[in-house]
A and B are shown apart, each in its own frame.
Chain A
């Protein structure tokens, strides 16, 4: 979504689904830690860890994966548009 939003409108227009997927991945990564009621609870416990603490720990590798996917999709998006490499400026 970074590049998608400006300067590469053609890429966004050509691949609306991929672009939307990128936006959703990034938004989800933010939302599910910003919306505290989702995880502000003690149960279910995972091992000895209350849910709240377990969630915060496990969410980080998940963020990494989400962002990796988003960046990978973005690369594909740019790779398929001839003028999208940003030139040599």
Chain B
């Protein structure tokens, strides 16, 4: 395990250096002029991306270490339940098509940079916007942490890393990769990940397609892969005396059930385009039609995700990989070990580089989005109302660094039996924005105080419920589903239902009490507008 393959290592390093160079050079790419020291430039790439670049950018956002490491790890460890991720990435596009074009339009018409900008404009409530900004930043940290765990998995299998028992020393190479990421994000803003996404996707398509066609031939065909997996998950674990996993979601009420499967998929699908980073990617699109068209093309990435999820079963069917993963006691290593065992070392290098870069790109976009939120909706709003565009951009650059170090803490401190829980935990939090954000895009019926109370109820319930889930290996934060009313269900979904019920009931009460509703600065036609041409400028101080 500590043996480093020179060929693999060299290829990874070379590709990493190329990408870093592109990252720094990106500051000059696609610039119509104008200073990079403007939040529209640094944070939204000048708002001029067309269908093609948006596709790459959103794809880079959506398919991350979650896809390459976390999902196959869950499939490897538990079987069919991991395929909820496939169901989720199908469902997400029709769901998103319902509300995202409206958010794009109103944001363009009003010059909103973040989802919290919209919340404040819609409800005339700084408090609610603060809640939205806080939630966005908090939810992104475990998601970025997942990217780091993914990089860590690849580095572990490569044998890179010192043998020190100190976590921070042991993961030194991770921190170096991380630092490079942090610096080029700081310098180039959103352009860096958009440009790197091209390289990343090329690498990923290459190794996924090769793997999907080649590996089954080495493992006795798909029939054998599915057969081995089915037998493996039906076998009884000697420690828990239950079946190791499931091959098809069961119709029972507790465990890897169809209900749990559907709730995880639905919760994740609603959550995805509530994240500030996916909204950032969307707002960088040039036209409304660009956003819609992407809902047609993006499922192409989902096909890839389904194939990658199947790598989990390939790892089960390959005795050497299965033994390696078991010995290391870390399911996250399933895909890296599978590639290492199946591919010649040079190709392993390409695949590993693809995974590492595939984790860095979204991590950069996420950090930028969280930074925009902090600057626009916390710093400028509450601390320095007259911040100049230069100061705002500087602030965002620093905030992006702070967010990344927050993520590092999540990565090191939380248990990662299944790193997918990091993403699902982020989902529990971000879902609490659904009533105010999605609701607000369609109706102004909700009362702002009712939404704030509902949000608080959902956040508290979700956090406590997630904290209380224990397993054989971890006493807290062990999973993201628990049992409500006798059924296994994704905590994010049950929390947002509580949130919604509280919001509706309180709105009825407050409306009956004739509580003032605040001013709504948006107009109905702005939700369907499609302003062409020059990008909207961020208004210096939108009145409250």
Binding site for B on A (CB under 8 A): 1-3, 5-8, 26-27, 29-30, 33-37, 40-42, 47-50, 52-53, 56-57, 59-61, 63-64, 66-68, 70-71, 85-89
Q: Which residue of A lies closest to B532 (CB)?
A: A88
Binding site for A on B (CB under 8 A): 80, 83, 86-87, 89-91, 93-95, 97-99, 101-102, 105, 109, 221-223, 225-226, 230, 247-249, 251, 258-259, 261-262, 265-266, 288, 292-293, 295-297, 299-300, 302-303, 306-307, 310, 442, 524-532
Q: How many A-B residue pairs have CB under 8 A?
A: 133
Q: Are A40 and B306 CB-contacts (below 8 A) given A59-B90, A67-B94, A71-B292?
A: no
On chain A, the residues within 8 Å of B529 by CB distance are: 86-87, 89
- Asked whether, in the complex, the Cβ of A33 is within 8 Å of the Cβ of B265, the reply is yes
Q: How far is the CA of A61 from the CA of B527 in the complex (A)?
A: 29
Q: Which residue of A lies closest to B303 (CB)?
A: A60
Which listed residue (B98, B310, B526) contacts A26, Cβ 8 A? Answer: B98
- Asked whether, in the complex, the Cβ of B262 is within 8 Å of the Cβ of A57, the reply is no
Q: How far is the CA of A86 from the CA of B93 in the complex (A)?
A: 23
Which listed residue (A3, A29, A57, A67) contacts B306, Cβ 8 A? Answer: A57
On chain B, the residues within 8 Å of A37 by CB distance are: 251, 258
Q: How far is the CA of A86 from the CA of B297 in the complex (A)?
A: 24
On chain B, the residues within 8 Å of A29 by CB distance are: 90-91, 93-94
On chain A, the residues within 8 Å of B262 by CB distance are: 34-36
Q: Looking at the assembled complex, report how far the CB atom of A64 sits from the nearest CB atom of chain B, in whole angstroms.
A: 5
On chain A, the residues within 8 Å of B226 by CB distance are: 48-50, 53
Which listed residue (B295, B300, B310) contacts A53, Cβ 8 A? Answer: B310
On chain A, the residues within 8 Å of B526 by CB distance are: 89
On chain A, the residues within 8 Å of B266 by CB distance are: 34
- Asked whether, in the complex, the Cβ of A2 is within 8 Å of the Cβ of B99, the reply is yes
Q: Looking at the assembled complex, report how far the CB atom of B225 sits from the nearest CB atom of chain A, in whole angstroms.
A: 8
- Asked whether, in the complex, the Cβ of B105 is within 8 Å of the Cβ of A60, the reply is no
Residue of B101, B292, B528 with most partner-chain A CB within 10 A:
B528
Q: Are A36 and B525 CB-contacts (below 8 A) given A52-B248, A53-B83, A53-B226?
A: no
Q: Are A67 and B105 CB-contacts (below 8 A) given A36-B249, A41-B248?
A: no
On chain B, the residues within 8 Å of A64 by CB distance are: 296-297, 299-300
Report 26 cross-chain contacts, Cβ distance below 8 Å, ordered by A residue: A2-B102, A6-B524, A6-B527, A7-B528, A26-B98, A30-B91, A30-B94, A33-B87, A33-B91, A34-B262, A34-B265, A36-B261, A40-B248, A40-B261, A48-B226, A52-B80, A52-B248, A56-B86, A59-B90, A60-B303, A60-B306, A67-B93, A67-B296, A86-B528, A86-B530, A89-B525
